[in-house]
Chain A
């Protein structure tokens, strides 16, 4: 954020480059938004959450767009809660969209779990706060560390098994 009182004019445009053919194709996100969390899992790319609208009247988005690179098809889903996820971790065939904050919610410990093999979504929760934390995959688990639970900063590390 800068001191300038300006809002971005966003676009839903998607450009896809295929290195095997050197060709470009286009697509579009189902909803124009900023703050999107993105993850690659298997043959898919998942674009989750974010916010919609100008800064003064922005609202959180629960929209998920899923691109399958083999079929070239797009599908949509919803996060359990509209927000900009704070961390996105791929663990095996699953993607975890963790915590985050939104326009209307400060701290959130929700973990939305997408299984790319079944297409199934489930919801978990961290024991710790889920905002401004860092996460990394280790084997079939994810480790989450630190974060902010206003006004406290958090030194805990949590192991999460999806």
Chain B
């Protein structure tokens, strides 16, 4: 929640708790994208993007096309690029990634 009178934030939270997410800002927005829905390496990945408008305090949610822990993120002009990442992990040598 954002109080414009006092310029104070309170009670902010992601729409879904997660770790290993990435963040980027563009214009008045801050985006938090993807990540892991658990504490282990092979926890399910998230496709959630939480978008916070820091000028209004409004939060919205979007989705990555592919649930993942994003590999590389960059802001360029008015755009944010979320590139690559991993969908899950699997035991080495089991070829479950093939």
Contacts and interface: CB of A to CB of B under 8 A. Distances in A.
Interface string B24-43: 00110101010000001110
A29 B84 contact: yes
Interface size class on chain B is 35 or more
Contacts, number: 128
Interface stretch (B1-9, B11-19, B90-98): B90-98
Interface stretch (A13-21, A107-115, A131-139): A13-21
Contacts of A14: 81-84
Interface stretch (A1-9, A96-104, A151-159): A1-9
Interface of A is mostly: strand
A32 interface: yes
Given A8-B89, A69-B79, A45 B65 contact: no
Given A43-B76, A43-B77, A45-B76, A13 B65 contact: yes
B85 interface: yes
Contacts of B74: 38-40, 45
B72 to A, nearest CB: 4
Interface string A55-87: 110000000010101100000000000000000
A16 B75 CA distance: 10
A11 B91 contact: no
Contacts of A118: none
Given A6-B91, A9-B86, A39-B74, A17 B79 contact: yes
Given A2-B41, A26-B65, A40 B76 contact: yes
A40 B79 CA distance: 11
Interface of B: 26-27, 29, 31, 33, 40-42, 49, 62, 64-66, 68-69, 71-93, 96-97
17 contacts: A6-B41, A6-B89, A7-B89, A8-B88, A8-B89, A8-B97, A10-B85, A11-B68, A13-B68, A15-B81, A16-B82, A24-B62, A45-B83, A47-B84, A54-B92, A67-B76, A70-B77
